[in-house]
Amino acid sequence: MNFCFACFAVILPRKADDTPIANVPDRETPLRGLGFLTIGQFDAADPRPGHEQTLRLIERAEDLGFDSVWVRQRHLQPGISSPVALLAAASQRTSRIALGTAVIPLGLENPFRLAEDLATVDVLSGGRVNPGVSVGTPLLYEQFKTALYPETHDVENFSKERVLRLLACLRGDPVSHFEGTIGQDRFVREVQPHSPGLADRVWYGGGLRSAEWAGINGLNYLTANLVSTEGTSSRDFAAIQAEAIDVFRLNHPDPETARVSQGLVVIPTDSATPEQVARYRAYAAGRFERTLQPHGPRGVMISPDYVGTSDELAHALYAHSAFQRVDEVAFALPFSFTEDDYIQIITDMATELGPRLGWRAAESSTEPVDSIARYHA
């Protein structure tokens, strides 16, 4: 396989007479879970239309048979700042599709309160919430720390301990020393509501050390279009991501059911207009140079964006060593495209690319997808 660096469209291998090779290679494990990730951008001067567009996209995804939709979280930007609230709205417009966050930075959250919100939406959705979380010092923390934590900004703990606190709350571990009645009010020790199974649907992402930690703690593992070179000598994105997936499963108490989802930027063009194809290729080309070398103290590598027909994309993905290790994906939608663009992209994902990857659309039903059963049947 080769790539066109000028436009970074994935180029399908060709026969000697220059005609495309139409058949997509098989792999032993079909793709069992197809989803996508959106940032949910909006106009800061008029935010409602952008939020409504994101909700319409989620509804369309359910109609197309997608298994999941994931939303990013952005603070102090015109992107979704409250994904749990948005997913609460989405839960009332859908009946089956899984609703995920990728990811909620826990440095800006109180795990106790976040657990209450997540559990409430999970109850309302019928058990469809998939919380993806991250830790670490929040981006640009020095610029707003006194607004976020006026008295405690210099002593806040941004370690993985925050994830463990969230998990304890979601599992129903006691968080209060008191249980009983005061007047007519009854109090319990556990966060309410309790939604059984929600703690098993928590996801965590990151590099090799994070993959190991997520596995040891029995979490699910999110991979994206960024990887860290810490702990590895490789500078090949797919190889580093594949190694992290292997480390995660090696350390998971139940590797056969350990869930991993890959989140590359993948843009199918099957039904796109020539103008859309040109914009998509220009978008990918404008972001390609950043993929050539590691960035920052952690040596972050960035994946190229994948643009092409579903045949071309399937060939590229089947050759990707990390994709070979997953049976769930949440392809990331590009930034700053129009609603018509996103509809075209997700429609081609569901009707063209998904079937070429061995995926079948979820059947129409009012019952939510049993994600573990579906992905590991």
| Cβ atoms < 10 Å from Cβ of 153 | 14
Q: What is the pLDDT of residue 167?
A: 98
> How far is 152 from 155, CA to CA, in rounded Å?
5
In the chain, what are the domain boundaries? 30-358
> How far is 107 from 88, CA to CA, in rounded Å?
22
Name the CATH superfamily, with its identifier, for domain 30-358. Luciferase-like domain (3.20.20.30)
Q: b/e map of 244-253 (b: 16 or more CB within 10 Å)?
A: bbbbbbebbe
- Provide the whole-model pTM: 0.91
- Length of the chain measured in residues: 377
Q: What is the pLDDT of residue 4?
A: 44
Q: What is the pLDDT of residue 26?
A: 55
Q: What is the pLDDT along the chain (377 residues), one digit of tens a residue?
A: 444 433 444 434 433 444 443 444 456 788 999 999 999 999 999 999 999 999 999 999 999 999 999 999 999 999 999 999 999 999 999 999 999 999 999 999 999 999 999 999 999 999 999 999 999 999 999 999 999 999 999 999 999 999 999 999 999 999 999 999 999 999 999 999 999 999 999 999 999 999 999 999 999 999 999 999 999 999 999 999 999 999 999 999 999 889 999 999 999 999 999 999 999 999 999 999 999 999 999 999 999 999 999 999 999 999 999 999 999 999 999 999 999 999 999 999 999 999 999 999 988 655 555 544 444 34
Q: Are 70 and 37 in contact (CB under 8 A)?
A: yes
HSE-CB of 107 using CA atoms within 13 angstroms: 21
77-84, Cβ contacts within 8 angstroms, sequence gap of 24 or more: 78/41, 78/42, 78/43, 78/44, 78/47, 78/50, 79/39, 79/40, 79/41, 79/42, 80/39, 80/40, 80/51, 80/54, 84/114, 84/117, 84/118, 84/121
> How far is 348 from 346, CA to CA, in rounded Å?
5
Q: What is the pLDDT of residue 29?
A: 81
Q: What is the pLDDT of residue 367?
A: 53
